[in-house]
Structure 1
Amino acid sequence: MTTTAILIRSNGDAERLGYVMERIGRQNVADVYVVLDCTNDGATKREAITNLLPDANVIDLTKEFIVSSGLHFFNRCTWQCGDYFYYAAYAQQPGYKFYWLIDDDVAFNVDTEAFLKESEQIDTDLFGYEVGHRKANWGWHKTMCAQYPDEVYGMLYPISRLSRNAVEFLFKARTFYDSGVEAKVYETSKQLIPLHANDEAFTATTLKNNGFSTQSLYKEFRSQFLGFFSTGLPILYEELSHAHTRNKIIHPVRSTSYARNKYIEIYKRSGTKHILRRAEEITGSCGPEIWAECFDMTVEDLRAKARENEK
């Protein structure tokens, strides 16, 4: 029996899930499960992914599970509280030593089996990306500072690994935390709840302050994460077959239509600073036609704009 489970966090997007499954499935080190957000229209989502893996490997995260576990259910809680996916999986599959939680827009363009074997040699409770101390100006700082005034931590949540002991502890601690948040905090309802700790703040702060060990994914696997892992600039599915993304763990991997909206948003906010690099990489690997689906300015246009801004 394997000692490691890989949990893929999904809202039922079969195309995205297919890409991540194709790569993660090429290994015999860990058992793979999809933890499916079934808080809304779960039957339709299950049907959408039915051909990708056996039903036994699909774990439903439902409103009933959230409420009956003493966790707080609110609109978009499954986006804000990714740690809920860990708890749903643990409730059904409690026997693993380690649990990876991976978003369905993370691409393993590496030898996945070799990566997992090497990572199993690192025995730590939290194996995370950008785990570290957060200052008071961090958006989620206020959600944990009452409990840990000077010791608020954060992390990125697209990929992480927890030990069984860490999941057990967090599950209990989260129910206690959720029960202490005032009801009026949730009255804004439709968007994120800024006074309810998100997954990044809750997981990192709780474990760091309660004696659990942590280790940096970036430090241990720097070459695999360097350059193409962030929460901002999308990488295209079309790029995964090209040399510049080879031997990389990549996030977020998305379609040209999604990337177009994101690149426009980033250009409005930051100008050519980040977009030019993406334009050069995509044009050089996939061709100008693919870049044209993402943005209305060519590489030459962006270079000229950058030179103009330097004057």
Structure 2
Amino acid sequence: MRAVAIARPGGAEVLEEREVEDLPAPGEGEVLLEVAAAGVNRTDTVQRQGGYTLPPGASPYPGVECSGTILALGANVSPRWAVGDQVCALLNGGGYAEKVVVPAGLLLPVPEGVSLTDAAGLAEVACTVWSTVFMTSHLSPGESFLIHGGSSGIGTFAIQIAKYLGNKVFVTAGSEEKLDACKGLGADVCINYKTEDFVERIKEETNGKGVDVILDNMGGSYLQRNLNSLAVDGRLFVIGFMGGTVTEVNLQPMLARRLTIQVAGLRGRSLANKARIVSEVEKNVWPAVVSGKVKPVIYKTLPLSEAVEAHKLMESSTHIGKILLIPVHDW
């Protein structure tokens, strides 16, 4: 089969589409998918740079989500799945390929009304947002929610599901085009971080109270300002370190306002933990997608052979929504 390999740690140019050894038959509790499309994520770029330790047993090829059709079932797979089913999946890796083996517990049905290709942009964002914002930070109806990077794949999804569940949504982004896109998805307060101080704007919009939950992809450079933006009993969840991993912080606001900071990724979790998240997503998020209230926002689709261009686009941060790669099957 063909897959995208990382020739060596480095820039986007180290990605190479090549012929690789075919996959073994799916093992117990696994399925083999013919990949229709794979989502491109920041995790993939970090892996390519050599900054990510792969989970045990993970494929060396990048790609942590995909959509596709079931080609074969391993032993003891739930009878709900059959050869020919169209699904999307959360992966440990290997999505940048023509085929991938996936634990059946990490499969989701392609939602009615969503194309098989576009479904490739759902699993990672849905599982990330639901596990962090709702399962852990317990964002509740009526609370306020700040999303940094509102025009990203994570951001565009988080805006929609939070609005669907009755929250006031604040976002930051770096251009008027991106802010307009966020507003079009339902964001209530859109802040250009290049021209405005988001802390002051949030205080102004909340009469000095602050927001209840923040989803942050920046890390160190935003930590103090995030704490200053939270309301009493506020929760900050950090899912990325685009602004660095080291900073100096005044902890007094945490004590004074009973604040909580949590940091976690998705890929390194146990299979059981990820399967629980997938189950919760199907139960709580999929109805919103089927109803059309939450939609995958796809910026661009590229052939698998153009993975280099896809990574360059991801790292330029000029996109709005998800970038997808599509294998060209020739068997």
With normalisation by structure 2, the TM-score equals 0.24
Question: 1 or 2, which has the higher helix percentage?
Answer: 1
Question: 1 or 2, which has the higher strand percentage?
Answer: 2
With normalisation by structure 1, the TM-score equals 0.25
